[in-house]
């Protein structure tokens, strides 16, 4: 069974940087898109960034555009989220997720059918 395992979270001051990693364990699997989704206490989940497997195209939420970069290393079966110029409002649990069905609307969080356990990011002012 495929599992997604996030790492790289932590505490940082505003303006700092973190890089999150998401590694697949189990076996190499095919997917249509993968994304980073975050959820802060009392708030709804928010799709932060996503990447399409075949094209490599990426999309970002307006709130992180220009500060966050999503990338993938297929050889290492790893997805990354480089987060720069972090703000206190970026504080949340960050999850990586995969949508396996071809043609999924990857902007809709309901299409993601494999999720990691999450990693906490805390940004202090």
Quick: pLDDT tens for 101-124: 999 999 999 999 999 999 999 999
Instruction: Retrieve residue 79's tokens.
Output: 């997805």
What local confidence, expressed as pLDDT, does residue 108 receive? Answer: 96
**pLDDT > 90 fraction of the chain, expressed in percent and rounded:** 84
Reported as a pLDDT band with limits 50, 70 and 90, residue 95 is very high
Average pLDDT, the chain: 94
Confirm if 34 and 96 have CB atoms less than 8 A apart.
yes
Q: In sequence order, which residues have a C-beta less than 8 Å from that of residue 37 and are 6 or more positions away? A: 45, 46, 47, 48, 94, 95, 96, 97, 109, 112
Question: Using one digit for the tens of pLDDT, what is the confidence trace for 4-40?
Answer: 999 999 999 999 999 999 998 866 778 899 999 999 9
Q: Answer whether residue 74 shows pLDDT above 90.
A: no
């Amino acid at each position: 069974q495929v599992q997604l395992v996030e790492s790289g979270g932590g505490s940082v001051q505003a303006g700092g940087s973190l890089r999150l990693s998401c590694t697949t364990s189990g076996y190499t699997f095919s997917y249509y898109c993968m994304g980073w989704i975050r959820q802060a206490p009392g708030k709804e989940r928010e799709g932060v960034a996503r990447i399409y497997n075949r094209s490599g195209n990426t999309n970002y939420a307006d709130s992180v555009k220009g500060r966050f970069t999503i990338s993938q290393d297929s050889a290492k079966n790893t997805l990354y989220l480089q987060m720069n110029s972090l703000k206190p409002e970026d504080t949340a649990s960050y999850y990586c997720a995969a949508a396996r069905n071809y043609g999924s609307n990857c902007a809709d969080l309901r299409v993601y059918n494999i999720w990691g356990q999450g990693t906490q990011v805390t940004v202090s002012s």
